[in-house]
Amino acid sequence: MSVNEIRNIALVGQSGVGKTSLVERLLFDSHSSTHLGNIKAGDTITDFDAQSIQYQHSIEATPVALSWQSHRMNVIDTPGLPDLLGRTLSVYPSVETTALVLDANTPINQLSDRLYAFAQEQQKCQMIIINKLDLNPEKLAGLLAEIQQHFGDECLAINLPTSDGRGVVDCYFEPDYEQATLFDSVESAHEKLIDQVIEVDEALMEIYLEQGSELNPQQLHDPFEEALRTGHVIPICFVSAETGIGIPLLLRTLAELMPMPDEGNPPMLEKGGKLIRVDCDQLDHIVAHVFKISVDPYLGKLAYLRVFQGEINAGSQLYIGESNKAFKVGHLYQLQGKKRNEIGRARAGDFCVLAKVDELAFDSVVHDSHDEDGVYMRTLDFPEPMSGLAIRPIKRGDEQKLSEVLGKIASEDPSLRIEHRARTNETVLSGQGEFHLKVALEKMATLYKLNVDTQQPSIEYFETITQPAEGHYRHKKQSGGAGQFGEVQLRVKPLERGAGFNFVNKVVGGAIPTSLIPAVEKGIRQALAEGAISGNPLKDIEVTVYDGKFHSVDSKEIAFVIAGKKAFLDAVNNANPIVLEPIVELTLQIPTPDVGDVTGDLAGNRGVILGTQSEDNNFTTIEARVPQNELVDYAQRLRAMTGGEGSFNLRMSHYEPAPTMVQDKVCKEAAVH
């Protein structure tokens, strides 16, 4: 198949707008499938995994292929749940076109905004598909107006619903000006499209304006592609996945208007910080990118590749990134849901799947020549985690298995984060929300047979002192043989926040031999790590050792380690020690009507609002500073306050003295443990 006949499209959008049903209808009406699957029946091609069937929501981003006339279309069905946004964003580099699916019954929310904006950042050609046109046709005119207000006047209808809402009228290819529509008119919609498209081609505009000539789709092809590449036009198609209304025209639009691989904006492949060009017609010098990893119980690790240049064959020798070690392609597949088709080759513009190449990871670039060493795909900006859980295996001895399973889970979902926190000895799994983590934990239990205990991650408090003080300790031990003796006198004083620890030796006259001063510091550092009142490390303290005593026979290193530690703790207890709590900076994006509820909740939880900024009529950004321990369940709280539309990210800011109530609680919990 020629590269000119390939189209790569990702269907993206909010949950519930019918993306999976639309893919089923496209497959069925193009005769690429003999069965029209149903989500409730659990028999759709793309939602074939157990979790998608269980939740009746797409959990994975799943590519399928369909043939229509002479074209091959690779269509990716993506998750619409906010928690799984990262899985949707990860497939953007593999396509030329993203199609935002909406319907009149689902208000446009922040997720649609983010998907649309991300497509702009990735320089993807875009279109909008309005599904379920026959469900509430009286709402469609309002939805079209809302789309144009929300995303811009460049969003223009390529077809319109008939006056009874039971069909569509072509407004571009073969417009029927006499056909009655539900709103607007075919002639008006056609003229708006033409006027918008020819703005990118001055020569064609001159012909159109001066001669009044009717322009045909062939004349408009090149300017239409340019308008798509620059975001100057975003076609809108009305369809019904349920009944099939508008599907033939949608297939024609995808095939004839959406860009082929060498017509879209080039992929964001870089080398040395500069974009490189790939040539779809070049059969040598393979360049391909891994846009998805999955783990199959039978085939093992599967890597989904988009081929940008060259041709991959069974037997091809490929390199990964800058590796000098090549691997040989064994079997080459294309997957149609759970159905596996072995293929002999995959050429530029197409998708393929490689099995059992453990070195391949998400975002890997593979090639067959060292000329492409150092080529990488520009890094995607995945949303920051909003929820985290500390996990540990229930069964003793499964620690190594936990590490291996987490690695596999994270390889399939680049928006999951795994962190081992040495101070608290916790393994923390972080994601976009409660459901995101639930999906990961369920997969660990069912696929990998690993059950874990979970709890909220520990908050990392510190201790410090608030005033200067002195400490003294004499360590003396006699046990029949050689004894132990060491005496230390020191003073402490608080340092500015963030200064850490400073050790000063001002011992004179040999009161403590120079060779034993490191032992004193070692003891102090042990106490710093263990804390004095809450079991949390001490920080922002200067310690000055100024006197002591030693014994020529009994003074050993261990004696001065103990004496230094105890003298330091004596001084700290005299210096009014306190607990420091972490303060984070919070950036929220929320629906504007919910600003009052969200800011009120933050203020009621010791938060300080730093500023608000309205992005448009729909969403507001809030900057705040909040104690971390007030955000333990914040993802759930925010979802409740904003109807699931609010999102946030946070970053560590600084430490502040904890209020008495918080300090007492932390100290009490430390005493229990």
Instruction: Check which CATH number belongs to the domain holding 237 and give it.
Output: 3.40.50.300
Could you give the number of structural domains in the chain? 5
Please report the pLDDT score of residue 671 as a whole number.
Answer: 75
Domain membership of residue 118 (yes or no) is: yes
Instruction: Check which CATH number belongs to the domain holding 281 and give it.
Output: 2.40.30.10
Using a CB cutoff of 8 Å and minimum separation of 24, what contacts does 45-54 make? 45/336, 45/337, 45/339, 46/20, 46/77, 46/337, 47/20, 47/77, 48/337, 48/338, 50/446, 51/439, 51/442, 51/443
Instruction: Check which CATH number belongs to the domain holding 532 and give it.
Output: 3.30.230.10
The SS3 of residue 364 is coil
Count of C-beta atoms within a 10 Å radius of residue 212: 7
Is 273 found in the same domain as 217? no
Domain membership of residue 383 (yes or no) is: no
Domain membership of residue 382 (yes or no) is: no
Is 320 found in the same domain as 240? no
Please report the pLDDT score of residue 617 as a whole number.
Answer: 64
CA–CA separation, 383 and 264 (whole Å): 26
Residues of the chain with confidence (pLDDT) below 50: none
Give the Cα-Cα-Cα angle 634, 635, 636 (nearest 5 degrees): 90
Instruction: Check which CATH number belongs to the domain holding 399 and give it.
Output: 3.30.70.870
CA–CA separation, 86 and 12 (whole Å): 12
Count of C-beta atoms within a 10 Å radius of residue 461: 23
Please report the pLDDT score of residue 673 as a whole number.
Answer: 64
Stated pTM of the model: 0.88
Please report the pLDDT score of residue 648 as a whole number.
Answer: 87
Place of tokens 């119980």: 297
- The answer to whether the CB of 562 falls within 8 A of the CB of 583 is no
Q: Which two tokens stand for residue 17?
A: 């707008």
Say which DSSP state 60 is in.
S
Beta-strand relationship, 234-238 and 125-131: parallel
Please report the pLDDT score of residue 211 as a whole number.
Answer: 64
Domain membership of residue 201 (yes or no) is: yes
Please report the pLDDT score of residue 224 as a whole number.
Answer: 93
Is 368 found in the same domain as 411? no
Q: Which conformational region is residue 603 in: left (phi greater than 0), alpha (psi within -120 to 50 degrees), or beta?
A: alpha
Is 425 found in the same domain as 349? no
Which of 322, 355, 377 is the last residue in one of the domains? 377
Is 24 found in the same domain as 163? yes
Is 593 found in the same domain as 620? yes
Using CA atoms in the order 416, 418, 423, 424, what is the torsion angle rounded to 10 degrees? 70
Beta-strand relationship, 317-320 and 365-367: antiparallel
CA–CA separation, 240 and 41 (whole Å): 19
Which stretch of DSSP H or E encloses residue 490? strand 484-494
Which of 404, 420, 455 is the last residue in one of the domains? 455
Domain membership of residue 188 (yes or no) is: yes
Expressed as residue numbers, the domain containing 471 is 462-575
Which of 543, 575, 607 is the last residue in one of the domains? 575
> Which residues, other chains included, contact 173 with Cβ-Cβ below 8 Å and sequence gap of 6+?
217, 249, 252, 256
Residues of the chain by 3-state class (helix, strand, coil), percent to 5:
30, 30, 40
Is 225 found in the same domain as 138? yes
CA–CA separation, 544 and 538 (whole Å): 16
Is 246 found in the same domain as 134? yes
Per-position DSSP letters for 162-215, written without gaps between them = BTTSSSEEESSSS--TTS-BSSS-HHHHHHHHHHHHHTT-HHHHHHHHHH-PPP
Instruction: Check which CATH number belongs to the domain holding 615 and give it.
Output: 3.30.70.240
Write the single-letter amino acid at 277: R
Domain membership of residue 263 (yes or no) is: no
Is 304 found in the same domain as 398? no
CA 5 to mean position of chain CA atoms:
32
Is 25 found in the same domain as 9? yes
Domain membership of residue 545 (yes or no) is: yes
Q: Which two tokens stand for residue 425?
A: 């000895």
Is 585 found in the same domain as 565? no
Q: Which two tokens stand for residue 359?
A: 């070195």
Domain membership of residue 264 (yes or no) is: no
Is 249 found in the same domain as 276? no
Please report the pLDDT score of residue 144 as a whole number.
Answer: 95
Q: pLDDT for 150-191, tens place per residue?
A: 899 999 999 999 998 889 999 999 999 999 999 989 999 999
